[in-house]
């Protein structure tokens, strides 16, 4: 695996690296699931989707630049494009919005899978909840199904975005 390169240095290298990361996280999610490590598996599936979404956003940087104009200072106090910072970090709080921006390019599946990833992220931290207050999941079989589905979709999308 190659060394991390931020999108402002090498956009294409960044995309390829994030797609590799997405596929690797999806594989880990399935391995953890097979071992009964549901919360860890959910976290890996979420991280895989987050990496994939960052790659999709980087491939369409101009869409993000129009929505997030201007510059902000990074942690080293260097001025960076606001869009590049969002692409590089892909904050959980921006994932749904970024997916929505890319609907015209990739279709609604990107939004639906982002929502699924966010549900698994919520499960990772809160676990099962029979009442449905702290988590959307009340049955482990639903979690397992969603982890498998998202992991397979990550692999599909990673191949699609490589071209």
Taking CA atoms, 157 is separated from 52, 114, 163, in Å, by 8, 12, 10
What is the architecture, at CATH level 2, of domain 11-162?
Answer: Up-down Bundle (1.20)
- What is the pLDDT of the chain when averaged over all its residues? 94
Q: How many helices (H) and strands (E) does the chain have?
A: 8, 2
Give the pTM.
0.94
What is d(CA 39, CA 44) in angstroms, rounded to the nearest whole number? Answer: 9
Q: Which residue has the tokens 């919005």?
A: 97
Span 6-37, pLDDT tens digits: 788 888 999 999 999 999 999 999 999 999 99
Q: What is the pLDDT of residue 1?
A: 53
What is d(CA 90, CA 98) in angstroms, rounded to the nearest whole number? Answer: 9
Span 96-120, pLDDT tens digits: 999 999 999 999 999 999 999 999 9
Neighbours of 43 (CB within 10 A): 21
Sequence spans of domains, the chain? 11-162
- Which residues pair with residue 72 across a beta bridge? 80
């Amino acid at each position: 695996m190659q060394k991390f390169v931020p999108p402002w240095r090498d956009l294409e290298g960044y995309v390829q690296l994030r797609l590799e990361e997405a596929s690797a996280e999806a594989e880990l999610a399935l391995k953890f699931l097979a071992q009964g490590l549901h919360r860890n598996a959910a976290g890996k599936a979420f991280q895989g989707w987050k990496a994939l979404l960052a790659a999709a956003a980087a491939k369409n940087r101009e869409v993000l630049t129009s929505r997030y104009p201007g510059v902000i200072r990074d942690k080293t106090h260097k001025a960076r494009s606001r869009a590049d910072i969002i692409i590089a970090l892909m904050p959980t709080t921006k994932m749904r919005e970024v997916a929505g921006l890319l609907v015209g390019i990739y279709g609604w599946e990107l939004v639906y899978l982002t929502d699924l990833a966010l549900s698994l992220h919520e499960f990772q931290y809160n676990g099962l909840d029979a009442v449905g207050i702290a988590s959307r999941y009340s049955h482990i079989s639903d979690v397992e199904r969603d982890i498998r589905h998202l992991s397979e979709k990550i692999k599909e999308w990673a191949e699609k975005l490589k071209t």
